[in-house]
Amino acid sequence: MTERIYKGGEFLVTEVDKADVFTPEDFSDEQRAIAETTEQFVANDIAPHIEEIDQQNFDLVVQGMRKCGELGLLMIDAPEEYGGLELDKATSMLVGEKISYAGSFSVAYAAHSGIGTLPLVYYGTAAQKDKYLEKIITGEWIAAYCLTEPDSGSDALGARASATLSPDGTHYILNGTKQFITNGGFADLFTVFAKIDKQHFTAFLVEKGFEGLVVGAEEKKLGIKGSSTTQIILDNCKVPVENVLGEIGKGHKIAFNVLNVGRFKLGAGVTGAAKMAMAEGLHYANERKQFGRPIASFGAIQEKVANMTAATYASESLVYRLAGLLDTKLATIDKGAANYYELYQKGIEEYATECAISKVYCSEVLADVVDEVVQIYGGYGFVSEYPAERFYRDERINRIFEGTNEVNRLLIPGMILRKAMKGELPLQKEAMKAFESLMTPSFDEIDETQPFAREKNLLKNLKAVFLILAGAAVKKYMTQLQEEQEILMAAADIAIQIFALESAVLRAEKVYDRASDTRKELLSAVVTVCAFQASEALASAARRGAFYVEEGDTLTMILSGIRRYTRYDATGLLQAKRRLAQEALAAQKYIF
């Protein structure tokens, strides 16, 4: 946790201090011990059976979940009064990162411990928790979440599943089909969303044994083959009235708030997967010889290694910075409050923008990493006997899970603008200042004696770019901006790059003074690579956005400003990449 509480999205309009970010270097001994327990569980209980699990031996998945329950890995987010550990989000995300090494098994784990369990934790009555929660957090029962339907994915409120009260008032009768349900084939408890009287969107706790619940056939998937994905068919399914979860007609609160948690946990999971995939690629690069020497000795491979290392560093920095934001905010809530979980959910919702950024950025880092790992393996990367092929197939779903990356990109600027309209962020005032700066020649004064001064100055300028384009877009389109998806996507890409780069820079700055000389070299190298990559990606998105929004003299002025504000002196970039590659290839793993 950190001391200052930042508002969601505030990073775009303020300078953040290094002391106010949580980093992996801040993990406590307890957190490190839980991470080690998770790693040992994966190494001993899952890794030897990955091939069998991928062939859909779900008995092994269920056994693994039971063992997770014994180790306490399913109760991290559950309240102590019901036998849970009630640990912080940093710990929850750290376990999610380490469990990702388990391949498809990690999907079952994530669905159970996240969207499968949290609706009950956050919205369940005391009676519902007494009945179900202990079974869920010990692994005796497996949980699943049923929101998506054949015709409603991102448009969750367009669901057609219906619920009708029985004549005697004791049950709701549910009808409909739920699609792509993770853990569907072996789950015991389902959180199911349906519309009462085809109008009131509501959640229900549905046991596998309830009359009228039918489990469909396993989907034949591209990847994550060792996870169960089925339809859940509700054929006059009888659900007792006491199994309504939360308030009637308020199911959207459960659906959307739990997705925020799913997004930041997915960010942690894919970061762990990137580390694992990269380690395999590094090992292979050292072993594989061509032209009489290891391919690791070639600059073309070393550049890939450096880029993967830097991107994963930014991904990891982003994830745990978000964990710190969440934990700092949630620590201010009185656990004795009658509406504790309502306040808790609002605390998480405050950072919905950052949760969406985490989901998008980290999943796309993993995509880039596994693509490069396949390339390092060459033809063998396309062969299923080698791990790169499975990494490649398993990765793809992460850009669809928890809301597609397109939907999340649209959410990012939308949520920021809503905060500005409510007066929670001074976006308009800062946008005007940024626009005025375009007409005022300025010379950045950079104190090169301070670590990462160039990168911090770059961040200040990149934030100005976001503000200029956001201000121009709002001025032109006003309330119709929500319909201009191409512009919103460009704005999202700018915000994403700013948050990721700032997370990497602040983390490096925070630990720099106490680092060894070798570590300082590596920190400087990784920040240089991160800053170069971010400034290039952001400049492209900003130019795209400028052409979408403006024309004539104003366009010319904004494009000039983009060139000025995205300029980054990456002197020493090649040496930085070679230094990172040298260290990573020697260690044969992610080095930070």
**What are 549's two structure tokens?**
């929004």
Of the candidates 5, 24, 2, 20, the residue with the CA atom closest to the CA atom of residue 91: 24
Can you tell me the distance from the alpha carbon of 133 to that of 131, in angstroms, rounded to the nearest whole number?
6
Nearby residues of 93 by Cβ (< 8 Å), 6 or more positions away: 264, 265, 267, 268, 319, 320, 323
Asked whether 95 and 112 are in contact (CB, 8 A), the reply is no
Give the integer Cα–Cα distance in Å for 258 and 111: 11
DSSP readout, 426-486?
-HHHHHHHHHHHHTS-------TTSTTHHHHHHHHHHHHHHHHHHHHHHHHHGGGGGG-HH
Residue with tokens 């469990």: 99
- Please tell me the distance from the alpha carbon of residue 535 to that of residue 353, in angstroms, as a whole number: 21
Write the CA distances from 437 to 430, 472, 538, 565, integer angstroms: 11, 14, 19, 11
3-state class percentages of the chain: helix first, strand second, coil last, to nearest 5: 65, 10, 25
Separation CA 126–CA 105 (nearest Å): 31
Question: Do 95 and 114 meet the contact criterion of CB atoms below 8 Å apart?
Answer: no
Strands 143-146 and 189-196: parallel
Helix residue ranges per DSSP H, 4-125: 29-41, 50-54, 58-71, 89-99, 105-111, 118-123
Active site positions, annotated: 402
| Residues paired with 232 in a beta bridge | 178, 215
State the amino acid at position 459 in one-letter form.
Answer: L
In angstroms, the CA 264 to CA 97 distance is: 11
Closest CA to 86 of 97, 77, 74, 73: 77
Contact 498/538 with Cβ under 8 angstroms? yes
3-state secondary structure of 370: helix
User: Residues 184, 144: contact at Cβ < 8 Å?
Assistant: yes
Q: What angle do CA 489, 460, 7 make, to 5 degrees?
A: 70
